[in-house]
Amino acid sequence: MSDFAMDSIEELAPPAGKFVESYEGSSKAFPSGKSFLDAFHDDQYAKSLPPGPAWLCEEVKPEAPTKHPVCLFYHQLLECLQALLSNPVLTPHISFIPRKVWTSTVRICCIYDKWLTGEQAWDAQDALPPSRTILGVILSSDKMKISIMTRNCMAHPILISLANINVGVHSKTSLHGYLLLALLPIPKFFEKTTCICSLLQDRLFHQVLNQLLTPLKTAATVGIMMSDPVGNLHYCYTLLASWIVDTLEECLLAATGPKASPVTIAMSKDFGNPFHHPSCTSSLTLSAIEAACAEQDPFDYKNFLKVIKCLHLNSVIKPCWKGRLLSDPSQFLTPEPLHHFHRMFWDHDTKWCIAVTGSVELTFHFSLLQDSCWIPHV
């Protein structure tokens, strides 16, 4: 067994003065897998190297007629995960074993600097059988134009990565820490009513995601054998660790209305409250959807929209995360920097500082800050 299997070379040893507690009995590696370099040596002309995920296309049938055929362009999800895991460039940057990092052996103050050092990864490993490996899947999406000169097409690009990869690697484009998983269609319906068109688009979005993410659901339920960069095999279970989207898409994914929080039970009128509201779990959302469907036929669009407005839902009746183990919107919808950090600072922290110090005192301190000095590149 290679040294890599032993906790990715123990993360190159913990920093001095810190105590690391690793999860015992997880991520057992099985030898005899084929690494990237093994495949290269098998064929000196590199004709048998793994070609990588291939583009596929499937026609999707929406609930209502559209002006053009709806096609989904995508890669197989598990092939993308295997391509990330077997990338030899990422060999020193991937780890599989959850750990708790403490500032000292007293174990009072815990350090959270990676996904595998958090409670979510540790608790998920607790739920798995011994010797199994947990893979934290990261998805990212944002509606955008993909062609301007030809037909002005729009799509939802979906990117995929792994939380097991070092955080610093994700931001380096040259290391290809993210792969393009799919281009979700954004069709134009014959329906003229704006609110009904929005309803149909929201349902189609989740319908396509259900089709795209089905392999992820299977791997989370029964597991799948995958090879790491040095050729060791791991029996992996996939956990949706994070979905990086803006606030509007968070509501779309969580199946909540625009005036409700996608991760808590707070409404728009409660957003200024000084306490944390309980999480909006998947069971609460699914119960609200069932109540709406029981009260009104979900295919009677106009009347159904009136019912879901009172329940703060967005008309989706089959969310893409329904029935997926270890995946809950209140957990995988992570904070978005612009609205959750930047706006929080200006709406709360800045007002608190002005109230405590006074505007004159705060302005004086800002005036003492030196201008940054820079040297132009000649």
Q: Over the stretch 293-331, which tens digit does the pLDDT of each residue have?
A: 999 999 999 999 999 988 999 889 999 988 876 678 888
Query: What's the confidence (pLDDT) of residue 370?
Result: 67
25: left (phi over 0), alpha (psi -120 to 50) or beta: left
Query: What's the confidence (pLDDT) of residue 322?
Result: 86
Q: Which amino acid is at 140?
A: S
Max mean pLDDT range (22-36, 175-189, 318-332)? 175-189
The first and second tokens of residue 94, run together, are 């991937």
**Residue matched to tokens 């998805």:** 139
Per-position DSSP letters for 52-77, written without gaps between them: -PPPEEEEE--SS-BSS-EEEEE--H
Query: What's the confidence (pLDDT) of residue 374?
Result: 44
Q: Give per-residue pLDDT as tens, 79-98.
A: 999 999 888 888 888 888 88
Give Cα 63 distance to the centre of its chain.
Answer: 27
CB 264, CB 250: distance < 8 Å:
no
Query: What's the confidence (pLDDT) of residue 259?
Result: 86
CB 85, CB 228: distance < 8 Å:
yes
pLDDT classification of 3: cutoffs 50, 70, 90: very low
Query: What's the confidence (pLDDT) of residue 208?
Result: 94
The whole-angstrom separation of Cα 162 and Cα 237 is: 12
Angle formed at CA 150 by CA 144 and CA 155, multiple of 5 degrees:
25
**Eight-state DSSP code of residue 371:** P
Query: What's the confidence (pLDDT) of residue 81?
Result: 93
The first and second tokens of residue 10, run together, are 């123990």
pLDDT at residue 41 greater than cutoff 90: no
pLDDT at residue 173 greater than cutoff 80: no
Q: Which of 11-15, 138-142, 174-178, 317-321 has the lowest mean pLDDT?
A: 11-15
Query: What's the confidence (pLDDT) of residue 49?
Result: 58
What's the whole-model pTM score? 0.78
Kindly report the average pLDDT of the chain as a whole number.
82
Rg (CA), the chain: 24
Query: What's the confidence (pLDDT) of residue 12?
Result: 45
Q: How many CB atoms lie within 10 A of CB 290?
A: 11
The first and second tokens of residue 204, run together, are 């189609």
More confident residue, 128 or 11: 128
Q: Give per-residue pLDDT as tens, 201-216.
A: 999 999 999 999 999 9
pLDDT classification of 6: cutoffs 50, 70, 90: very low
Which residues contact residue 263 at a Cβ distance below 8 angstroms, ignoring those fewer than 6 apart?
250, 254, 279, 280, 329, 330, 333
Distance separating the N- and C-terminal Cα atoms of the chain: 53
The helices-and-strands tally (H runs, E runs) of the chain is 14, 12
CB 251, CB 341: distance < 8 Å:
no
Which residues contact residue 87 at a Cβ distance below 8 angstroms, ignoring those fewer than 6 apart?
36, 176, 229
Query: What's the confidence (pLDDT) of residue 376?
Result: 42
Identify which of 240, 243, 141 has the alpha carbon closest to the alpha carbon of residue 185.
141
Angle formed at CA 208 by CA 207 and CA 211, multiple of 5 degrees:
90
> Percent of the chain at pLDDT above 70?
81
